[in-house]
Each structure stands twice: as structure tokens, then as C-alpha cells.
Amino acid sequence: MKHVIPENSARLFIALWPDQAIRDALLACREHWNWPHGARLAHANSLHVTLHFLGNVPLQTIPTLIDALQVPFESFELILNHQHIWHDNIAVLEPCTIPAQLVKLHTDLSKALQAMGLPVETRNYRPHVTFARRAGGADISRNVPDIRWPVNGYALMQSHLSASRGYEILRSYY
């Protein structure tokens, strides 16, 4: 299915965005997997942990949204140490334990989005980094060290549908 972004809107999400050292560690972990033919690996520069996917948001809403997403934030360490293939053949790296600060951040952002009248996902939050799609049958490496990510902020991101533009940070929050 092809995504179409309506005119006068932007496709947005809120994420934990890694620095280069964490991105390199994620890529090194991913390289230990044995990928089946046809697996679609996530682009190296797109690895992240989504906090909330907002979808298509009207452009005139974005300045207000940028201000509304400034919520209390306490730095924490996210330990990514569980390699898994979800039922829909998506290969992910997850934490075995979700830090309380991450739960609070997710909840506070949910409240800010709801106050703006924006929809919020109702499923339980499962933080993860997507490594690949169509990854059924991938051989998961069990000998990869934990990735210890010192999380010092989050970001409002815009997703551009052209591969050459990828993701753009609209605002970082610390």
C-alpha cells in the first residue's frame, strides 16, 4: 500500500533518536543476524524508538504541537537486550525492562497529544528498534552485548516519503 500525505499536512512521529555511537551499536547488533532473502532492512539513518506515531498532521497545527510536546523529562538509560521477531515478521530489538522514566515520558506525551485533540495509540506501549521487515526465518544472534543507551531527550520527527529525504528532526527536547 502506498502512503499519500495530503497537501498542507506532514507525517509526524515522536521518537527517541540515537546519537552516532548508539546508531553504530545498533547496526553492529543487526549485522550479527542472518537475514533471509527478501528481508527489508531498515535504513541505517532511520533506526530509532518510536514514542508516538501521529500520522498526517495539518501544517498549521505544527507550531502549537511543538510547544505542547515540551513535557517534564528525566534522563534515563534504556538497555536494549532482547532480539525478537514479531508475529508479523518484523525483526526488533527491545528492552527486557522498560524504565519508569520512559513510561512516564510516554504517558505525559499521550496526555499532551490528547489535550490537542490528536489520537493516541490504545495498545500497550512496546518500545523497540525495528531492524527489518519481511524477516521471517531470520537467524537471531544470541551473542550480542546489551546496548546501553543513555537517553537525554526525545524529538518530534517528520517522515518524508522519498527515500532521499528520510526523516527530519523538527524539534529536539532535552
State the pTM of this model: 0.93
Predicted pLDDT of residue 7: 75
Predicted pLDDT of residue 163: 59
**Residue pLDDT tens, the chain, 174 long:** 445 556 799 999 999 999 999 999 999 999 999 999 999 999 999 999 999 999 999 999 999 999 999 999 999 999 999 999 999 999 999 999 999 999 999 999 999 999 999 999 999 999 999 999 999 999 987 788 999 999 999 999 999 976 567 899 999 999
Predicted pLDDT of residue 1: 46
- Residue 20: other Cβ atoms inside 10 A: 7
Q: β-strand 167-173 against 49-58: which pairing, if any?
A: unpaired
Domains in the chain, CATH or no CATH each: 9-173 (3.90.1140.10)
DSSP secondary-structure letter at 89? S
Predicted pLDDT of residue 147: 98
Q: 148 - beta bridge partners?
A: 79
Contact predicate 19/167, CB 8 Å: no
